[in-house]
Amino acid sequence: MRFGVLTGGGDCPGLNGAIRGVVYRAAHFGHTTEGFLDGWKGLRDDLHRPLTPAELAESVTLGGTLLGTSRTNPFKAEADAEKVLATLSKNRIDVLVAIGGDDTLSAARELGRRGGKVVGVPKTMDNDVAATDWTFGFDSASSVAMDAVERLRDTARSHHRAIVLEVMGRNAGWVALATGLSAGADATLVPEEPYVEAKLMEQIRRAHARRGYALVVASEGIDLPLEGGGRAEGDQFGHALLRERGVGAWLAKRIEGATGIETRSAQIGHIQRGGPPTLFDRLLSTRLGAGAVDLALAGKFGHVAALHGGEVVGVTIEDATRATKVVDAAWLDLLHTFDA
Ligand code: F6P
């Protein structure tokens, strides 16, 4: 068999581990792999190169994606969709492994509907892909954000300040939740809950009174009364650039105004998406990359390799892309157990 592989959407730690999983697993059973460059753009524009186990030996340790990525949606225009199918047939690709989040997997679903043989690997630092317990990239990104809070704590404590850390996560609060819980924030704001200013100010006053400083973790996607909603249309999948809303800076001003406590904000932006993957993400990406090849070899096209209770299983792409996985009530209940 001849496998094709691409990585689409935002990069995250673990992508190279997944590519390595695909290439090694395919080679293990005597198959070859062609890597398509820059996500769906590579399929549309016929940009690719062969991938061999030898060149990928160390890739599991590296962040980013060695294939490049983009937020290209080839199914927005019929002419592009046809180019994707032509590239697959011209290069004699038997099955495509699409590694990506909701958008990339939705494009893979569309390719499947048009007769392309495709399997998927869910990834995203946002951890918001339905049908898998965890996505790789999330553990690494949240670990960076956790470390950022630890560092901000030193300044907050020394200057008796409140500090707000804004983290990524788009419309799901998993990164904020994990960061707030693991770093001991006094308040954690997620998009799944309404912004209640009086409650936030109370938490900050309480924390400051108790130990002389306060730490807040806020997700970039929380609903705030920003001018124009702060959500202009963005990429080809219709996502706005949320970091430009300035959630952290806005909150810091409100906090200082309401409480009189000197307040600062920090936005770690893409720093949280870079760097070497954590152990968890190396293992998960390796298992899911290899798992996608196993699905294809078993003829389970139209499926993604997903983690279910510790096991790698096949879930249909339709199910995996049905809805965004958001933080549920049980997690929110746990989170608020630790509010200041
Ligand atoms: O989807 C991953 C993500 O990092 C989101 O958390 C964030 O909103 C978005 O990508 C940022 O996108 P870009 O890298 O295109 O600025």
**Atom 10 of ligand 1, nearest CA residue:** 10
Average of pLDDT values for 12-34? 98
Is 331 domain-assigned? no
Is 166 domain-assigned? yes
Give yes or no: residues 263 and 246 share one domain: yes
Beta-bridge partner residues of 70: none
Pocket test for ligand 1, best of 168, 219, 220 (most atoms within 8 A of CB): 168
Q: Using the predicted structure, report yes or no on whether residue 106 has a pLDDT greater than 90.
A: yes
Ligand 1 atom showing the smallest separation from residue 220 Cα: 8
Centroid of ligand 1 to alpha carbon of 170 (angstroms): 7
We report the CATH number of the domain holding residue 89 as 3.40.50.450
State how far the alpha carbon of 253 is from the alpha carbons of 35, 193, 224, 320, in Å: 47, 21, 13, 40
Give yes or no: residues 44 and 113 share one domain: yes
Give yes or no: residues 304 and 286 share one domain: yes
Centroid of ligand 1 to alpha carbon of 281 (angstroms): 18
3 vs 33: CA distance, rounded Å = 5
Return the SS3 of 70: coil
**Atom 15 of ligand 1, nearest CA residue:** 10
Measuring CA to CA, which residue among 178, 143, 179, 142 is closest to residue 163?
A: 179
Is 338 domain-assigned? no
**Atom 14 of ligand 1, nearest CA residue:** 10
Is 208 domain-assigned? yes
Give yes or no: residues 7 and 75 share one domain: yes
Confidence band for 237, pLDDT divided at 50, 70 and 90: confident
Centroid of ligand 1 to alpha carbon of 10 (angstroms): 6
- Residue 29 half-sphere exposure, CB side, CA atoms within 13 Å? 17
Which pLDDT does position 231 carry in this prediction? 61
Which pLDDT does position 228 carry in this prediction? 60
Number of domains in the chain: 2
Give yes or no: residues 156 and 251 share one domain: yes
Catalytically active residues are 126
Give yes or no: residues 27 and 130 share one domain: yes
Among residues 274, 292, 307, the one where a domain terminates is 274
Centroid of ligand 1 to alpha carbon of 240 (angstroms): 9
pTM for the whole thing? 0.96
29 vs 307: CA distance, rounded Å = 23
Range of the domain at 23: 2-136+277-320
Centroid of ligand 1 to alpha carbon of 117 (angstroms): 28
249 vs 166: CA distance, rounded Å = 8
Is 144 domain-assigned? yes
Main-chain dihedrals φ then ψ at residue 238, nearest 5 degrees: 85, 15
Is 333 domain-assigned? no
**Atom 2 of ligand 1, nearest CA residue:** 10
196 vs 200: CA distance, rounded Å = 6
Q: How confident is the model over 283-301, as pLDDT tens digits?
A: 999 999 999 999 999 999 9
Residue scoring higher pLDDT (37 or 227):
37
Q: How confident is the model over 150-187, as pLDDT tens digits?
A: 999 999 999 999 999 999 999 899 999 999 999 999 99
Which pLDDT does position 233 carry in this prediction? 62
Ligand 1 atom showing the smallest separation from residue 243 Cα: 8
CB 190 within 8 A of CB 219: yes
Say which residues have a Cβ less than 8 Å from residue 233's Cβ, sequence separation at least 6.
240
Give yes or no: residues 160 and 115 share one domain: no
Please give the DSSP secondary-structure letter assigned to residue 166: E
State how far the alpha carbon of 76 is from the alpha carbons of 49, 79, 105, 107, 110, in Å: 25, 9, 14, 10, 11
Centroid of ligand 1 to alpha carbon of 168 (angstroms): 7
Ligand 1 atom showing the smallest separation from residue 101 Cα: 1
Helices 279-297 and 15-28: angle between axes, nearest 10 degrees: 40
Is 11 domain-assigned? yes
Is 160 domain-assigned? yes
Ligand 1 atom showing the smallest separation from residue 175 Cα: 6
The amino acid occupying position 191 is: P
Say which residues have a Cβ less than 8 Å from residue 68's Cβ, sequence separation at least 6.
7, 37, 38, 39, 42
Give yes or no: residues 283 and 163 share one domain: no
What does the chain come to in residues? 340
Which pLDDT does position 33 carry in this prediction? 98
Average of pLDDT values for 80-84? 97
92 vs 262: CA distance, rounded Å = 62
**Atom 16 of ligand 1, nearest CA residue:** 241
Q: Using the predicted structure, report yes or no on whether residue 235 has a pLDDT greater than 90.
A: no
Among residues 274, 289, 311, the one where a domain terminates is 274
Please name the residue ranges forming H helices in the chain.
15-28, 40-45, 53-56, 78-90, 102-113, 138-159, 174-183, 197-211, 247-259, 279-297, 317-320, 329-337
Pocket test for ligand 1, best of 241, 245, 247, 326 (most atoms within 8 A of CB): 241
Q: Show the ligand 1 pocket: residues with CB < 6 angstroms.
A: 10, 101, 124-126, 168-170, 220, 241-242, 273
Give yes or no: residues 109 and 121 share one domain: yes
Average of pLDDT values for 27-43? 98
Give yes or no: residues 40 and 89 share one domain: yes
Q: How confident is the model over 320-340, as pLDDT tens digits?
A: 999 999 999 999 999 999 999
We report the CATH number of the domain holding residue 260 as 3.40.50.460
CB 66 within 8 A of CB 59: yes
Calculate the CA 119 to chain-centre distance.
19
Return the SS3 of 204: helix
Pocket test for ligand 1, best of 125, 219, 220, 235 (most atoms within 8 A of CB): 125
Which pLDDT does position 302 carry in this prediction? 98
Question: First CA to last CA across the chain, in angstroms?
Answer: 57
Give yes or no: residues 269 and 153 share one domain: yes
**Average per-residue pLDDT for the chain:** 96
Give yes or no: residues 46 and 85 share one domain: yes
Beta-bridge partner residues of 51: 33
Which pLDDT does position 230 carry in this prediction? 60
User: What is the secondary structure of 41-69 as a DSSP string?
Assistant: HHHHHT-EEEE-HHHHTTGGG--S-TT--
Say which range, 127-131, 165-169, 217-221, has the weakest mean pLDDT: 127-131
